[in-house]
Chains A and B, each alone.
Chain A
Amino acid sequence: MPFIPHTDEDIRAMLATAGVPDIETLFDEIPADLRTTDFDAVPPGLNEMEVSRLLQERAAQNRPTVCFAGGGAYQHHIPAAVWEITSRGEYYSAYTPYQAEASQGTLQVIYEYQSMMTALTGMEVSNASIYDGASALGEAVLMAVRLSRRGKSSCVLLPATVHPAYRQVVATLVGDQGISLQEISYDFGSGVVEPETLESIQKDFAALVIPQPNYFGCLEEVDTLTNWAHERGALVIGVVNPTSLALLKPPGEWGEAGADIVCGEGQPLGIPLASGGPYFGFMACKQAHVRQLPGRIVGRTVDLESKPGYTLTLQAREQHIRRSKATSNICTNQGLMVTAATLYMALLGPQGLAQVATACHANTMALVKRLTALPGVEQVFEKPFFHEAVLRFPVPASRVLSVLGQGGVLAGVKLEQAYPELNDTLLVCATELRNEEDIEFYVRELTAALAG
């Protein structure tokens, strides 16, 4: 098969069908002044040696930046063994391993991943991952509405403290499926959804989404919120940061009955920050809801000789068998990312993950304490936080970002675009990677910026 899309003969055939003699005539209606044939900005081709030299020069322009930005993507230490093993040829396959003949090794990795995710979230079942955290929440919303079919409500309560990008993705995914999303506002003093706010909600709803920690880093009152939703016959969808679960109560134990569906972004578990991807979404739920969980599930069984074997189960719900009745048609399994996450969790163990979480929290506490000691810098919300906090500055947030950026500090994430009331604020984050010296560096740079 030729890799050239169309041959001269193809082009002649297409032009004949369109009824024009040549390509120039085809483009006739485009005004001449809009067309350009002279691409000054595109340099001529280079050979390998020249390209190599050019890229080295460009790479040298990158300056190391100390990262204090989070907002859904976090810089953590990744043990070298994680990607050393993940990028072995056996795992580095080119395609989502959904086929029944997928190797036992791949299936076992996914099985281990599912087991660890259920342990971490306190839930009964986990799928083998999904595209990313935002789409996992979209799928969770769709799943909750399917489950509440008997309740006949297709409204889902979505607090403003959920990641703004996630809310946009969810709106896009479910907007044309007859599902309505009702935003729940947060309390401007505490930065969380105050349970009293919910009392004004009279109408039926299928589910309440609860972020923990929320986008501002604050800890929501998950037990109260969970019970409130369950008392009204609705489901609870938890959106959680996996690192935080090493310290916080797992969603399976929220309130009297626990969350029904749990999802989130798996990036903190061994996936590097790489200009926004690839990431993976995780989804877990109660056993009773497993039939509505999108994506793949690997099960463990024994063969006729009692040897353990792993197999894809519940495939009848998958799009290649069930087509229009599939639970989802975009449940892309991020196999390679999941392999890395499985290795990350296995290498750290529950204790290691708890150490990471504890260090993140302690470092962010230290950062906030040092920064708020500077004149005019204050913590916006009074609630406890995990490893992020919102700070207000006496100068515009974009100025803080640009001045500190020039000095080599990535100072945080600006909130103003999604939350106009939070102008002059930054969401700051310190993971286990930020030591005393880094925090000192931030303080020094900010002091200079405020003085200037």
Chain B
Amino acid sequence: MTDTAPHIEILAPGAYASLQDAGRRGWRRIGVPWAGVLDVRLMRIANTLAGNAENAPVIECFDGGLHLAARGGALRVAVAGDAAVELESGGERRPLAAWRSVTLNDGEQLRIRRMNSGRIAVVAVAGLAVPAVLGSAATYPRALLGGLDGRALAAGARLPAAAPSGLERVLGTPPADDDGPLRAMPGPQDDHFSSEALETFFSADYRVSAQADRMGVRLEGSALAHLGAREIISDATVPGSVQVPGNGLPIVLMADAQTAGGYPKIATVIGADLPRLAQCRPGDTLRFARVDAAAGGAAAREREAATRRLLAAIRPLAGGIDLAALYAANLAGDAVHALAPEYRPLN
């Protein structure tokens, strides 16, 4: 990459930032997890806002702190997720709404200051170019696959992108939070647990521990007793598998988790609800609700339909006025500042 070609420079990765896409399919049989973005909906929204294909590679970041700059020319970036975003230009800082795309001129910076709710934001960059490894750009650091040299993003990383074209875009009404219990299907080893343990799993409060990342989310709360052996002959895991090791405390496996495991799996969180678990912060409490296969399938279709409605609601930002951001900041009625987002105070 030449310094004069448009590219993103990572100034700080925050808590953890990595390149992801829809994930790496077809290699679980040789031990390669799918990896991929933890919340596919955020990736699809961010890419659509940026004018990319829905599954193009994106930057997924945790807990705020991601800080990047446009180099070598103007770029178009978009943030999906409930993030407090800040734009910095010539030493001046101003807040920017999430759920929109924006043009960063050469040298301008974008920072995810913090997450208002949730843990994960997704940043799309128009024309972001990352080579695919085994069919995907998703970073899986354990085996150095995807991303940049298989590693998480670090300060100084540079990602080639494209010059902006067309209008900036906005998602007027971001998806609403859903605080309902996480739906899970019993199995594949629910028969390794007593009916009391299953009852506990589907009714007790669990707390997200500090060990919650792209591999798995360890939960604290009521221990679940095994019937008989605490280990099984290793079999396949899936994203959403709820493993119960010897101490009885469940671990929900996420995108980067090992593909096989020797702990009985009491249940599996359905795909429609797994992104909500990924968004839980350490200390958050949650519950599980039992669903059957038919309800799991229906939930997948409902989530897809809702995602398609969100994508269809993305509109060009006419004349550069970000009405959604104005309403979100409760400044739409402010006669002085209504058309000048740069005067909005930091929140």
A binds B: no
Q: Which A residues lie at the B interface, using CB under 8 A?
A: none
